[in-house]
Structure 1
Amino acid sequence: MRACLLEGDEEMADTLEFQSRTGGFDLVQAADQWLQPMMVLDREFCFVFANRAYQRIMGKTWKEMEGRYFFDVFYHAPKKKVEVEATFRETFDGELTHLAEQPYELEQPDGSIHVRTWQWVQKPFFNADGQVTHIVQRCEDVTDRVELMRQNEIMSNELAHRIKNMFSVIMATARISGSLADDLEGFIDEFNDRLVSMSRVYSSLTTNDWYGLPLRHILKEEIEAAVHRDTSRYSLSGPDITLSLKSTKDGALIIHELASNAKKYGCFSQPEGRLDVRWYLEDEHLVVEWEESGLTDVKPPSRKGFGSILFHMLPNLKVTRDFRETGLMVTVRSPISISIFGEEEA
């Protein structure tokens, strides 16, 4: 039976073999001190050995287990008993078997509790005649593997959720762009521009682990795309603020529309035109001021555009637009609780 105890782990077997050659080594005693839980059952499913680690994790003493039927010691619901018993019988048929992973709470020397996930492995023990006389059950720590699988599942679900949201935004963008376009060519140009803007933002979010982006970064990317990297045409002024994930995506759409309109109709459509953007915190709100200048005879548009519709789709924003004679002035106020990273509710 001592040789049977070595079947639980090849490295342990090598170690014990080496030590036994050095004289008088007690294999049962070594297995009893082994940190990995293990036990041995005979063909009647009765205990013939259980080391201290096994006793500790199962909450039983050896006196409570010695010589007793496994299912008398540990109650199993009828369906579970059939499953476990079938696994044991399969092991006695000479097969290496596994039971499902189970979480266990282990008390550490300092009194703290660590949760580990273990999987029971049953290995047949053959006697000299090739008959399976016992099964050796040992426990494998599969915590890291289970945690990796859990994280992969979370990531897959999150990716699916983000893809679904992204396509919803694309479909809404296509629908609104189509309703406002004068012709097919105009629709294609504007829709493509919006998709390129979304691509920039999603690429930056991916690089930043989807934690939201700095407001300055979004402004710089969208404005420079409109002015072809000519930084002399605009200025940015405000504290370092990182937007929440949702505000990053919504804010990028708004800034893209403002920059595009500035290029087509506003300050960037004229050589002397200029843009100054300021932002600050006031009364539990993030306030952004978009001020265009260098124009003459500026008038409100005759119909609602994509930007106006977008503002109406974001009820938490308070937007004022002042069509001054020298250029458009837009002020956007958003509650800090939903706009700034770390402030929004989970």
Structure 2
Amino acid sequence: MPTTIDAQTALDTILGEIDQPFYAVDGSWRITHFNAAAAAHFGRHPDDVIGRKFWEIFAEDRHSERARALLEVMDGRRTLRGEGASMMAGRWVSYCMFPLGQGIGVMFRDVSDRQQARLERDEAVEALRKRTIELETVLEAIPTAVWFSYDRELRHLTGNRQAAQLLHLGSSNRFPSLSNLLEERRPYSFYRDGQEVPADALPMQRAVRGEEVMDELLELRFESGEARLLLMRAMPLRSPTGEIQGAVCAAADVTERHRYEEHLKLLLNELNHRVKNMLAIVQSIAALTLKNVDPAARRDFEQRLLTLSAVHSLLTDANWEGVQLQALARGSLRAHFDTDRERIRFVGEVFRLRPKSAVALSIALNELGTNALKYGALSVPAGHVTVSWTALNGRFHLRWEEQGGPAVVRPTRLGFGARMIERGLPAELQGETRIEYRPEGLVCTIDAPLETIRERPLEPGREPGDVAA
């Protein structure tokens, strides 16, 4: 015959085996049941709580939201389900409170990990929302057209207001698909150097294939005849694992800037032409005026005019954005090169001069070369000159050193060249110059602040004379 057990034993066995905390109180709030899972959750042994008044053990919770829920079930005799903070600090539970006899029963489970994940998710969503608003604000504020897509086929494109206005789409930020650009007729086309760019060679299509497109100049032409010049960049959008998910493309309208710079180049070319004409006129007048003057003096004067013309041409070719020092030195001393071999050696790093400094140095180098050709190292076959320069610790240092020429003797009277180098050049360069008449060869040193000599670096990828984009 099966063994029978009483109801209380059966209830205690069931409550002891379930893995969810459970406790019960009678009508006077005396704890009648407190299973092992509840003991583990609260950190209290059942023998320490059963028989005691609930509010004696959890007195600090008498006026909490949890206490109000318990009282509502006890007084209202109805079941209440929900989630809330546990009586154990830092824990979150999902509970079911229900009438049980004259008292109530409470079963709950710890969902702290789920709640923490939910809070973290909500924080991430809020952070993403704020970040999205920030990015949208930036996209609308910048004066650059931006398109992006998280579709590798470029079927779905989004862009900012500037992008829509650039393509004459009004205020819409939805753009036609680029996946079938070949088949669909567009009211605009892109050109590079006068040749139409195929659809699959446009920056965004190249970026979605993994290419990074940097500073590409394209012309956007509309059927109406309007044309805009765009400086474009495009890059692939990648997932955290590096897979390409789409692409982003930005375009700055540089039409007006390009027109301005083309006009500026036209003016510079015209100015250069007029200056050359003026120098030619001055040279002709000088030739007529000085026809009875010593031929050597006349040649020196003409050479100075040619030096000015040469440096002016170099600066004009570079849009007056500075000139390379070695190119300037070679141009200023070209008339003093030996017909068989170069007897002037240049030693120094690549260095770009400011226009004002370039003119002053070219005149000084011409005077030094003329002197060397007449009296110094270049006046004999074995002589040679070394022109070296350095840029260290905020200072520019140039050294002209002659060797192998006749023995040098300090002149009793300084000529035009020496006076210009020792008096005029320091004022132009805000530095110091020194001429040493050493027996083995003349040495001239020029020392000046780097900031007054060196031109700012060109933008990456640009050469002197290029139109700035």
Conservation of the 8 A alpha-carbon contact between 1:298 and 1:327: no
Q: Which residue of 138, 159, 169 corresponds with 1:110?
A: 159
Q: Answer yes or no: is 1:308 the counterpart of 2:432.
A: no
Stretches of structure 1 that go unaligned for 5 or more consecutive residues are: 1-104, 119-138
Q: Equivalent residue for 1:190?
A: 300
Of 318, 327, 331, which aligns to 2:441? 327
| Higher mean C-alpha displacement, 246-255 vs 318-327 | 246-255
Question: Would the alpha carbon gap of residues 159 and 169 (structure 1) be closer, same or farther in structure 2, given more than 3 Å must change?
Answer: same
* Structure 1 residue matching 2:346: 3-state secondary structure: strand
Task: Please state whether the residue corresponding to 1:286 is helix, strand or coil.
Answer: strand
Find out whether 1:242 has 2:352 as its counterpart.
yes
Q: 1:9-24 alignment to 2 at 5 Å?
A: none
Structure 1 residues 154-163 or 251-260, which shifts more? 154-163
Distance 1:198 1:222 in 2: 9
Letter in 2 for 1:342: R
Would you say the 8 A contact 1:311–1:317 is kept in 2?
no
Native 8 Å contact 1:280 1:287 kept in 2: yes
Amino acid in the other structure paired with 1:271 = P
Q: Percent identity?
A: 20
Aligned to 1:50: none
Distance change in 2, residues 1:224/1:164 (3 Å):
closer
- Deviation track 1:271-303 (CA, whole Å, cap 9, x = no partner) reads 332212221123311101111123214223513
Distance 1:325 1:156 in 2: 51
3-state DSSP of counterpart to 1:337: helix
* Deviation readout 1:87-137 (Å, 9 max, x if unpaired): xxxxxxxxxxxxxxxxxx897652263787x9xxxxxxxxxxxxxxxxxxx
Larger-gyration structure (1/2): 2
**Change in CA separation of 1:278 and 1:343 when aligned onto 2, cut-off 3 Å:** same
Amino acid at match of 1:320: R
The CA deviation at 1:331 is 0.3
Give the Cα separation in 2 of the matches to 1:181 and 1:322.
Answer: 35
Q: What residue in structure 1 maps to residue 376 of structure 2? A: 266
Q: Does 1:215 align with 2:325?
A: yes
Q: What one-letter code is carried by the residue in structure 1 that aligns with 2:380?
A: Q
SS at match of 1:300: coil
Matched, 1:317 2:366: no
- Verify the 8 A CA contact 1:278 1:289 in the aligned structure 2: yes
With over 3 angstroms needed to count, the CA separation of the structure-2 counterparts of 1:112 and 1:248, relative to structure 1, is farther
Tell me whether 1:200 sits opposite 2:249 in the alignment: no
Shift of 1:328: 0.9
* Corresponding residue for residue 292 of structure 1: 402
Computed over aligned residues only, the root mean square deviation of the Cα atoms, in angstroms, reads 4.4
Q: Distance in 2 between matches of 1:173 and 1:253?
A: 16
Aligned residue type for 2:376: G
Shift of 1:165: 7.2
Report the Cα distance in structure 1 between the residues aligned to 2:421 and 2:355, rounded to whole angstroms. Answer: 17
Alignment match, 1:22: none
Checking the alignment, whether the CA contact within 8 Å between 1:336 and 1:343 is kept in structure 2 is no
Give the number of aligned pairs: 221
Structure with higher helix content: 1
Q: 1:283 to 1:148 in 2, by over 3 A?
A: closer
